Amino acid sequence: MQPRFLIIGAGITGAVLAHRLARDGASVTVVEAVAPTSGASGRSFGWVNASFFLTEAHFHLRLAAMAAHRSLGEELSRPYQPEGCIWFEETGEAFDRRHAALAALDYPLRLLDRAAIAALEPRMADPPPRALFFPLEAAQDLVGLAQAALASASSHGAHMICGLAVEGLVANDGRITGIRTAAGEISADHVVLCTGTGTPALLAPLGLQLPMLRRPGALLVTRPLPPLLHHILATPDQEVRQDPEGRLVAPASAHHQGDAAEGLPPPQEMEQATLMRLRHLFPNAFIRPDRLLMAERPVPGDGLPVIGAVLPGLSMAVMHSGATLAPLVADLLALEMGGQGDQPLLAPFRPARFFAGIETAPA
C-alpha cells in the first residue's frame, strides 16, 4: 500500500511537494492553517537565482533549482521563461569579487557596459558604467505556480484542507504518526512540515529547538504601467521587476535577499521611500502605489535551508529563497521519502545540525 503523506502548509514548498508526491501515486493530504500562499509565498519578490549564495554548496543547490523550475514549468504547462537579471547591486571591489566568484563557478553571465545596459533598458535613468547580466534568472509568480501545483495534486487524488491549524504532532514510541487539530487527530505514515515561520512552534514540544532569524520583508506593488522594464533589475538601492500585468514589484529594502534588518519602518514610510527610488529610476513613468505586502521571511538561524528527515515519520523543508529552491527541494525530498536514498545536494542542509543529541532518521 502507498504511504499516506500529510503535508502541513500550502505555500510554494508544500504545494510543489504535494504535486510531486501525488503525481507519483502517493496518498497525499495537505493541511493549511489559513489559505494557499497566505504566508511568505504570497508576498515574495519571486526572483529565481543563484547569483546570491552563502556557501558553495548553497550555490550548487540554487543552480540545480533553476533547472528544476524548467521541468516543473513543463509538467504544469507553465513554461519557465527567464527574462534575465541586470545586476549592479554592488559596486567597486565588491562588484569585482562577485564577478570573479560567479565566473569561477561557471555561472552563466555577461559583463555589460553603459551602452549595453541602456540598450536593454532604454527607459531607465542614469545607467551605470557596468553591470552583470544573468541570462538564466527569472521571476516566478509564486501564487500562480502554487495554485497550478495544487490543482495538479488534486487531479491526482490529493486532498486539501484549508483553514485548519495543526496544533501539535502525535508521537508514538519515537515515531510521528499524525497531527492534532481542533477538528481532531489525523493519522499518517509520514508528516512533512512545510510551515515556514510556523515550524519552530510545532517542533518545540518534541524538544527540538529550531532557531529562526527575524527577517520581516515588505514588497511594494504598483498600479499597472505600460511596458517599462524588460528584466529583473538589481541596483545598489532597489530591486525591481515588472509583472505581466504591468505592475512594478519592488522589495522595500535594498539587497533584500541578504537583508539583516530585524524590524521594518512604518508602512507609509517604506511605501514613500520605495516610490521615490522607483521614480528616480524611471522619471518619465507615472508610478502610483497599489499595495504594500508584508511577511516574515522563513530564514533559519544560519541563513541556510533546513531539509530532510527529523524523526521517523517526520520530515521538514523550511527555507528562505524558497521561490528559487522549492521545485528542487520537493523533487529531492520526495525521492528521499520514497526510499531512493540520501540526495547529496541536500547533505549540507540537514535538520540535525540544529538538533544536537537527536538522532534523525529516514522514514
Ligand X SMILES: Cc1cc2nc3c(=O)[nH]c(=O)nc-3n(C[C@H](O)[C@H](O)[C@H](O)COP(=O)(O)OP(=O)(O)OC[C@H]3O[C@@H](n4cnc5c(N)ncnc54)[C@H](O)[C@@H]3O)c2cc1C
Which strands sit side by side in the sheet containing 4-8, from one edge to the other?
159-162, 27-32, 4-8, 190-193, 314-318, 306-311
With the C-alpha atoms ordered 95, 271, 325, 352, is the resulting torsion angle positive or negative? positive
Whole-angstrom Cα distance, residue 31 to residue 180?
A: 11
Task: Report the nearest approach of ligand X to the CB of residue 43 (Å).
Answer: 5
Whole-angstrom Cα distance, residue 233 to residue 184?
A: 48
Nearer to ligand X, 23 or 43 (CB): 43
Whole-angstrom Cα distance, residue 124 to residue 224?
A: 17
Neighbours of 150 (CB within 10 A): 23
Nearer to ligand X, 120 or 160 (CB): 160
Q: What is the DSSP letter of 345?
A: G
Phi-psi region for residue 201, left (φ > 0), alpha (ψ -120 to 50) or beta?
A: alpha
Nearer to ligand X, 38 or 360 (CB): 38
Task: Report the nearest approach of ligand X to the CB of residue 109 (Å).
Answer: 18
Task: Report the nearest approach of ligand X to the CB of residue 284 (Å).
Answer: 27
Nearer to ligand X, 11 or 308 (CB): 11
Task: Report the nearest approach of ligand X to the CB of residue 28 (Å).
Answer: 15
Task: Report the nearest approach of ligand X to the CB of residue 157 (Å).
Answer: 21
Which residues form the interface with ligand X (CB under 6 A)?
8-14, 31-34, 38-41, 43-47, 142, 165-166, 194-196, 198, 202, 217, 219, 251, 256, 295, 297-298, 319-324
Q: What is the DSSP letter of 70?
A: H
